Amino acid sequence: MTSLTRSDVAQMVDHTLLKPEATHADVEKLIADASRLGTFSVCMSPSMLPIQTPENLKVAVVCGFPSGAVPTEAKAAEAAWCVNNGADEVDMVINIGAAKEGNWDAVREDIAAVKKACGDALLKVIIESAVLTDEEIVKACEASVAAGAEFVKTSTGFHPAGGASVHAVELMRRTVGKQLGVKASGGIRDAETARAMIEAGASRLGLSGTEAVLDGWE
């Protein structure tokens, strides 16, 4: 893992802007910066769509964000709208309350409905790992696999309990194996933390301070 170059790492990054007060001008700057830094994608709120990006820069949007406490039908409709308006990838939040209740059928069905709405677009499932027990992390990942998602993702970055942890990423990777990608997001602000997440099994990073992370990469 330590042999990764700066450009290798950049191609693992979703360059992210999800502040509620973000403007279209802010997103235009996000896209320009992502293109300059060579990131894999930009990640933004759905209201910014449709948006023009360079051909080699993917567009990711969030869904049911940040609480996940949205009716399944509404999440699915939001995902479908996003894909129809140019999203290549959708980062959805699970129903965290259902997870805490142990209602894994509801969690799986929620994810499956959004995946169906996404069609060929890639679906990442945000499990908000900082508020889940280890057992719940495993079960949330298993539900994501069963529902046909392509990625599991640690965090929204908005929950007071915190963002990504090495422990959560290791557990998520161990659970999904090579079947799914693992995205670490929330609180990754330097190269040392990014490296730890990658070594733990992350195949994608959600970063808002991308340039600082890449500048610290050796």
105 noted as active-site residue: no
178 noted as active-site residue: no
C-alpha angle 138-114-163 in degrees, rounded to nearest 5: 45
Q: How far apart are CA 136 and CA 81, in angstroms?
A: 30
Q: How far apart are CA 211 and CA 5, in angstroms?
A: 14
Question: Dihedrals φ, ψ of 121, to 5°?
Answer: -70, 145
Answer for the pair 78, 47: CB distance below 8 angstroms, yes or no.
Answer: no
Cis peptide before 66 (omega within 30 of 0): yes
**Among 58, 75, 139, 183, the one annotated catalytic:** 183
58 noted as active-site residue: no
List for the chain the helix, strand, coil content (%; round to 5): 45, 15, 40
**Among 58, 75, 124, 153, the one annotated catalytic:** 153
Three-state DSSP class for 182? Answer: strand
Q: How far apart are CA 82 and CA 89, in angstroms?
A: 9
- Work out the burial of residue 42: count CB atoms within 10 Å of its CB; fewer than 13 is exposed, 13-18 middle, 19 or more buried: buried
**Among 58, 91, 124, 139, the one annotated catalytic:** 91
Annotated catalytic sites, by residue? Answer: 91, 153, 183
